Amino acid sequence: MSNIPTLKPIQIGPITLAHPTALAPMEGVTDKAFRNLIRNLGGCGLTVTEFISSESLTRQDQKAWKMAEIDPDEHPVSIQIYGREPEKMAIAAREAQELGADIVDLNLGCPSKQVTSGCSGSALMKEPDRAAAIFKAVKQAISVPMTVKMRLGWDDDHLNAPDIALMAQDAGASMIVVHGRTRTQMYKGLADWSKVKAVKANIQVPLLVNGDILTAQDAVHALKESSADGVMVGRGSLRDPWILNRISHHLRSEIFEEPSLDQRHQHLLTYFGILRQGVKSDQQALGRIKKVIGMFTRGLALGDELREKIFHLYEIEAIYDVLADYFDQLKRNQLDDSFAHLNQAIAPSELISAQQEKYIVYQRQYDQNR
């Protein structure tokens, strides 16, 4: 087990993470229900809300408030905001703190032109002065820790994450997260964990490495290549909701006990139950339920058949019946080990979801409008 890096506990200001792992913010995915589901499965050091526009948070927009909602038991949790006006970002950060955030995270990783106020996200990496003004304004406005999530840079010729991270640290940021891709890469190619190392060399505050971590082995490689203090996992948690717990066990050289088929089935039902509580009608939950079943069963025995069946169903109870039959069938055929592939690598491109495509569309629109 000597190939597993020894990690120090991650300290974000006064907050100590129980595990060196975080669930990545994912718009349209990591709402309160999903975050709690992952947290309850264990091994999760930190959760982060979906990105919330500073504009809408300061306007006290209902949707933004819903996105910022956190569960009383959900700690530590970070509310992520984005925007390009330092004053608005400061007000939004204060709002996030008042809404109960333990940490306020600033998004320098993804631009969303959907938000009309001009854009922010990774574009700020091209505007270091503006980014610095935002860091300063936000830091002054809050007493909880500020963290920053970014990409490696705009493109291969501008890998300035080390400079921006240092700038953030100098302004008082307590942790940095780096997704090992450039902005122009969007989600193409593979995350380059080794390029994150230059960020680590430039800062003293903790660093999380992010991008394409799909297995516990990936986490070890990412940590070794980047020298980061912990990992942040996004899409991997959709395919394998236990991934953070799996990683935490692996990093402590402990055996992870695979959940049984019954536990997996129950996990889905619990999640769907929470989802249904959070929406006005079942119709609203239907698409999400189908999507999650699709992600969860990708590559599993009989998964294709299941997806084909549920695709044509429009009643949640009917989907539950088909799902129950599916798990029964796995048990009857003793296909418990059909989940073993979760420890094997799969191409991150297989994890592209409709939501991610939407996210990419925002980025394209943003580029065209600049």
Q: Known catalytic residues?
A: 110
Q: Is 145 helix (H, G, I), strand (E, B) or coil?
A: coil
Q: Is 215 one of the binding residues for ligand FMN (CB under 6 A)?
A: no
Residue 208: HSE in the Cβ half-sphere, 13 Å Cα cutoff: 31
Binders in 279-318 for ligand FMN, by CB under 6 A: none
For residue 235, count CB atoms less than 10 angstroms from its CB and return exposed for 0-12, middle for 13-18, buried for 19 or more: buried
Residue of 218, 142, 215 whose CA lies nearest to 174: 142
Binders in 61-90 for ligand FMN, by CB under 6 A: 80
Q: Is 242 one of the binding residues for ligand FMN (CB under 6 A)?
A: no
Binding segment toward ligand FMN, per CB under 6 A, in 3-11, 90-98, 207-215, 245-253: 207-215
* Closest separation in Å from C-beta 130 to ligand FMN: 18
Q: Is 114 one of the binding residues for ligand FMN (CB under 6 A)?
A: no
Residues 6+ apart with CB under 8 A from 140: 90
Q: Are 19 and 244 in contact (CB under 8 A)?
A: yes
Q: Are 303 and 297 in contact (CB under 8 A)?
A: yes
Identified binder of ligand FMN from the candidate list 41, 123, 209, 213, rule CB under 6 A: 213
The token duo for 366 is 């943003």
Residue of 122, 75, 352, 358 whose CA lies nearest to 234: 352
- The contact mask relative to ligand FMN for 135-174 (x = CB under 6 A, - = no) is --------------x-------------------------
Q: Shortest Cβ contact with ligand FMN: which residue?
A: 234
CA distance linking residue 221 with residue 177, whole number of Å: 17
CA distance linking residue 194 with residue 247, whole number of Å: 19
Residue of 25, 77, 76, 74 whose CA lies nearest to 51: 25
* Closest separation in Å from C-beta 214 to ligand FMN: 8
Q: Is 26 one of the binding residues for ligand FMN (CB under 6 A)?
A: yes
Q: Is 236 one of the binding residues for ligand FMN (CB under 6 A)?
A: yes
* Closest separation in Å from C-beta 326 to ligand FMN: 25
Identified binder of ligand FMN from the candidate list 21, 210, 245, 363, rule CB under 6 A: 210
Q: Is 211 one of the binding residues for ligand FMN (CB under 6 A)?
A: yes
Size of interface with ligand FMN, in residues (CB under 6 A):
27
Complex with ligand FMN: residue 296 or 326, whichever CB lies closer: 296
Identified binder of ligand FMN from the candidate list 15, 17, 27, 164, rule CB under 6 A: 27
Radius of gyration of the chain (CA): 20
Q: Contact residues for ligand FMN (CB under 6 A)?
A: 24-29, 50-51, 80, 107, 109-110, 149, 179, 210-213, 233-236, 348, 353, 355-356, 359
